Amino acid sequence: MPRLPVIIAALLLPSLAAASEAVDEARASAAGIHRISGKRLTLYSDVSGPEVDQLPEAFDQAFSQWCRYFSVKETKLPDWHAIGCLMKDRTRFAAAGLLPDDLPPFRHGYTSNYRFWLEEQPTDYYRRELLLHEGTHAFMFTVLGGAGDPWYKEGMAEYLGTHRWRNGRLTLGYTPRSREESLGWGRIPAIQAMVAQHRGLRWNQVMEFSDTAHRETEPYDWCWAACTLLDQHPRYQKRFRQAMRFVQRDDFNECFHRLFQKDWPNLCEEWQVMIAGMEYGYDVARAAIDFTPGGPLPAGPPPAASDGGPSDEGPYGPPPKGPKGPKGPKGPKGYGP
Ligand SMILES: [Zn+2]
């Protein structure tokens, strides 16, 4: 069922003013919580350090990239602003009135419209990834007015949370090239391990994750991979990006299925190829399969070569086109900066 248009939905949600009024700065400070501000984010944290101080800047860059990805003019959202809590000790935030006691239980992060809460993480990469994951949720909830079915909601947050942060520049939708580049994240080795244990999921199983599936970690691995495949594949990307139009609909998955109906079996096959070959720096475009059917061999005896012997190309002419060969080296893929 169609719901509110995107921008109207955003306007109806609680404003920044309403959200920030709820923060008692003196109480937060007395509880050992400090504030770090950016254009699009105010972050309250009981963790400090240079990497934490850079989080609002990363978030601001992400906001511009979310706008471009979801085809929203950033100038139409001049007042969009989120409030986040990065928490090492939850009791401090509860004492400061920053952690409402009616939030559902969560392990690493939770978002409610313009506000989100993160558990402190052992690595700089994963702390930032989690911030961008929850930020993606905040953007989709408040600007798109919804986030689709569970695989898309969590897959997009994970896809646009997975990033490269180098020399102060952020790239979203970036597949890490190594473990060192993404310490603490671990989705690629997790998929490798599950496939090795014959626990790989079929495409349809990923699409059917329930609302509660993401209480476990593994569904995040699969949903990240699904959105990575769809968004980086030369034949699927354009159609996949149409799915963002359906995020407010109850029949999101049906709409999505219609977009891919004609080559659903191919998609299922490419999924199997992807998860079987998952590795750091996995290049979806290079692994794309050419499903063009081959032509029949010519009838009759093989044509004689002009000199009476077999030609260099073999008895039936040039070999049929095989799968696309490797392409030259490319720069890092991803969305933005
Ligand atoms: Zn999430």
What are the tens digits of pLDDT across the range 260-303?
999 999 999 999 999 999 999 999 999 999 888 888 887 877 66
3-state secondary structure 208-258: CCCCCHHHCCHHHHHHHHHHHHHHHCCCCHHHHHHHHHHCCCCCHHHHHHH
Tell me how far the alpha carbon of residue 205 lies from the centroid of ligand 1, in angstroms: 19
Tell me how far the alpha carbon of residue 134 lies from the centroid of ligand 1, in angstroms: 6
Tell me how far the alpha carbon of residue 109 lies from the centroid of ligand 1, in angstroms: 7
Tell me how far the alpha carbon of residue 36 lies from the centroid of ligand 1, in angstroms: 23
The pLDDT value given to residue 324: 46
Structure tokens at 37: 């501000």
Tell me how far the alpha carbon of residue 130 lies from the centroid of ligand 1, in angstroms: 9
Q: Please indicate, yes or no, whether residues 32 and 107 belong to a single structural domain of this protein.
A: yes
Distance CA 173, CA 167 (A): 17
Domain final residue, candidates 273, 290, 307 = 290
The pLDDT value given to residue 215: 85
Tell me how far the alpha carbon of residue 84 lies from the centroid of ligand 1, in angstroms: 14
Q: Please indicate, yes or no, whether residues 108 and 173 belong to a single structural domain of this protein.
A: no
Q: Which domain holds residue 86?
A: 10-145
Q: Please indicate, yes or no, whether residues 69 and 182 belong to a single structural domain of this protein.
A: no
**Residues in the 5 Å CB sphere of ion ligand 1:** 154, 157
Tell me how far the alpha carbon of residue 247 lies from the centroid of ligand 1, in angstroms: 15
- The lowest-confidence range among 100-109, 150-159, 167-176, 217-226 is 100-109
Tell me how far the alpha carbon of residue 280 lies from the centroid of ligand 1, in angstroms: 22
What are the tens digits of pLDDT across the range 80-116?
999 999 999 999 999 999 999 999 988 899 999 999 9
